[in-house]
């Protein structure tokens, strides 16, 4: 057992807090070493650069990245000198299977990052130190636009398991980093019976910022609203991570905590960044990498899956990597009021497997599914599960306002989107479990692509 795990399991809470404080401080020191400061200056400088300067620099970064990749990665060696669009598309399964020929450094030379894949297979990516310093420099630069810096009080809701069963009985649902003023909340135990402990801990801490899973913060907020509780502090900004930010998350969280919700996209495999500006637009950051948007035939499109080439992945190069997310680009003529010339994305759709398959309507995406609650009273959260083409099971956590009429409204809204050939079964439950990663999944699609194909063939 690693020392860290040993401390988490056996030490008293104060001891754990001290351990967490020291460990975090060590991590921050590591991230802020080396090139961190220079990259902070770099991103500040290019914030106000002209369109030409940015395009020129983006090309330089791409050239450098492809050259270094083809020089150092055995997997990419044979593509030396090719322009980006002639590189092969990198599938997730290939990255998993050929990690050892793709990567350019050994584990001990870099920083290992583990990501939970959609299939449950976890992926191990090795970052070069310099790239990690760049990523943190950009993230901090981005958050600094909203006044954030290290040392401001932050409430953190992430997928780390921090809390032991005996802690729950005592209402200890968080751990503190005393040095960097961060309160880490467990996202696994936000429930009706633990709500009071969470709310007390949040209110007494009075964070200036929140970072973490939007579904967790949203759950906390809806429970507070049900109890007619008013938060008597003010959070400056919430920086969501890891999950798609659904419209209802945005409105409820900003209403309860009075904060701006500032979205970002940067998957843990090392994708380039999409960052929300103070005017609410999602801007692609062209100095972090290339986003190619493609249709089902892998041809360029304005809306569809993305292939990412990320300039901060020298350790495990990602070139035209099919990461499994979708975006829609804003029309080229669109100019954001913030003045930035960085391209704007209309929306980011989480993983491509996050959809329900309708034999009549094809893929019904996450945004459309979540919209089904728009005119329905009483739903706290729900999860749609699909195991066969013609039926879905929906687990719903709801309060007393979710009457028979409201249930019917919800089913009607669902049927409108899924078509009449899909039966909708509603199950009222007390709780919907999260994934092992701590993330909440609105949609769980267990249909294989074979099944979908035969379903659509039957139809035609």
Contact footprint for Zn ion (CB under 5 A): 277, 279, 281, 336, 338, 340
Q: Please, which contacts does 158-166 make with residues 24 or more away whose CB atoms are closer than 8 Å?
A: 158/184, 158/187, 158/211, 158/212, 158/213, 158/241, 158/438, 159/187, 159/213, 159/242, 159/437, 159/438, 159/439, 160/184, 160/186, 160/438, 161/186, 161/188, 161/438, 162/8, 162/186, 163/188, 163/189, 164/9
Q: Closest distance between Zn ion and the C-beta of residue 331, in Å?
A: 15
Q: Closest distance between Zn ion and the C-beta of residue 279, in Å?
A: 5
Nearer to Zn ion, 83 or 339 (CB): 339
Q: Closest distance between Zn ion and the C-beta of residue 271, in Å?
A: 20
Nearer to Zn ion, 137 or 277 (CB): 277
Query: Which of 253, 401, 284, 267 has the alpha carbon at shortest distance from 322?
Result: 267
* Residue 387 DSSP label: E
C-alpha span between 220 and 252 (Å, rounded): 10
Q: Closest distance between Zn ion and the C-beta of residue 287, in Å?
A: 16
Nearer to Zn ion, 97 or 337 (CB): 337
Q: Closest distance between Zn ion and the C-beta of residue 342, in Å?
A: 8
Close Cβ partners of 45 (under 8 Å, ≥ 6 residues apart): none
> Count of alpha carbons within 13 Å of 203, Cβ hemisphere only?
14
Nearer to Zn ion, 201 or 338 (CB): 338
Q: Closest distance between Zn ion and the C-beta of residue 340, in Å?
A: 5
Q: Closest distance between Zn ion and the C-beta of residue 280, in Å?
A: 8
C-alpha span between 235 and 155 (Å, rounded): 10
Nearer to Zn ion, 298 or 338 (CB): 338
Nearer to Zn ion, 275 or 422 (CB): 275
Q: Closest distance between Zn ion and the C-beta of residue 348, in Å?
A: 15
Nearer to Zn ion, 271 or 282 (CB): 282
C-alpha span between 31 and 319 (Å, rounded): 24
Burial class (CB in 10 A: 0-12, 13-18, 19+), 183: buried
C-alpha span between 309 and 318 (Å, rounded): 5
Contact 247, 237 (CB under 8 A): no
Contact 360, 417 (CB under 8 A): no
Nearer to Zn ion, 56 or 335 (CB): 335
């Amino acid at each position: 057992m690693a020392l860290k795990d040993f401390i988490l399991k056996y030490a008293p809470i104060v001891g754990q807090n001290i351990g967490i404080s020291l460990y975090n401080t060590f991590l921050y020191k590591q991230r802020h070493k080396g090139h961190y400061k220079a990259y902070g200056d770099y991103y500040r400088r290019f914030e106000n650069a002209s369109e030409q300067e940015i395009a020129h620099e983006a090309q330089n970064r791409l050239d450098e990245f492809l050259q270094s990749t083809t020089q150092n990665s055995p997997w990419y060696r044979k593509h030396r000198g090719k322009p980006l669009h002639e590189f092969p598309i990198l599938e997730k399964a290939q990255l998993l299977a050929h990690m050892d020929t793709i990567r350019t450094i050994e584990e001990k030379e870099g920083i290992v990052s583990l990501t939970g894949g959609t299939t449950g297979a976890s992926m191990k990516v090795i970052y070069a130190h310099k790239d990690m310093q760049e990523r943190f420099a950009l993230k901090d630069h981005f958050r600094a636009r909203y006044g954030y810096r290290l040392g401001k009080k932050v409430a953190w809701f992430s997928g780390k398991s921090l809390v032991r069963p005996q802690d729950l009985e005592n209402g200890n649902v968080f751990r503190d980093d005393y040095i960097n003023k961060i309160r880490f909340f467990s996202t696994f135990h936000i429930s009706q019976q633990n709500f009071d402990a969470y709310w007390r801990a949040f209110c007494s801490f009075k964070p200036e910022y929140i970072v973490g899973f939007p579904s967790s913060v949203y759950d906390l907020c809806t429970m507070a609203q049900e109890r007619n509780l008013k938060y008597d502090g003010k959070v400056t900004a919430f920086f969501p991570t890891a999950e798609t930010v659904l419209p209802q998350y945005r409105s409820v969280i900003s209403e309860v905590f009075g904060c701006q919700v500032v979205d970002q996209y940067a998957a843990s495999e090392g994708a380039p960044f999409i960052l929300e500006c103070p005017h609410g637009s999602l801007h692609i950051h062209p100095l972090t990498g290339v986003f190619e948007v493609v249709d089902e035939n892998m041809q360029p499109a304005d809306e569809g899956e993305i292939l990412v080439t990320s300039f901060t992945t020298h350790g495990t190069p990602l070139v035209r990597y099919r990461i499994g997310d979708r975006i829609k680009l804003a029309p080229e003529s669109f100019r954001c009021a913030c003045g930035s010339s960085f391209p704007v994305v209309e929306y980011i759709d989480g993983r491509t497997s996050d959809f329900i398959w309708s034999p009549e309507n094809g893929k019904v995406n996450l945004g459309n599914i979540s919209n089904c609650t728009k005119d329905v009273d009483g739903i706290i959260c729900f999860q749609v599960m699909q195991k066969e083409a013609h039926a879905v099971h929906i687990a719903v956590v709801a309060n007393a306002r979710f009457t028979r009429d409201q249930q019917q409204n919800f089913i009607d809204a669902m049927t409108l989107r899924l078509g009449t050939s899909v039966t909708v079964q509603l199950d009222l439950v007390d709780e919907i479990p999260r994934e092992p990663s701590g993330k909440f999944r609105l949609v769980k699609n267990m249909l294989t692509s074979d099944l979908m194909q035969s379903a659509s063939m039957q139809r035609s």
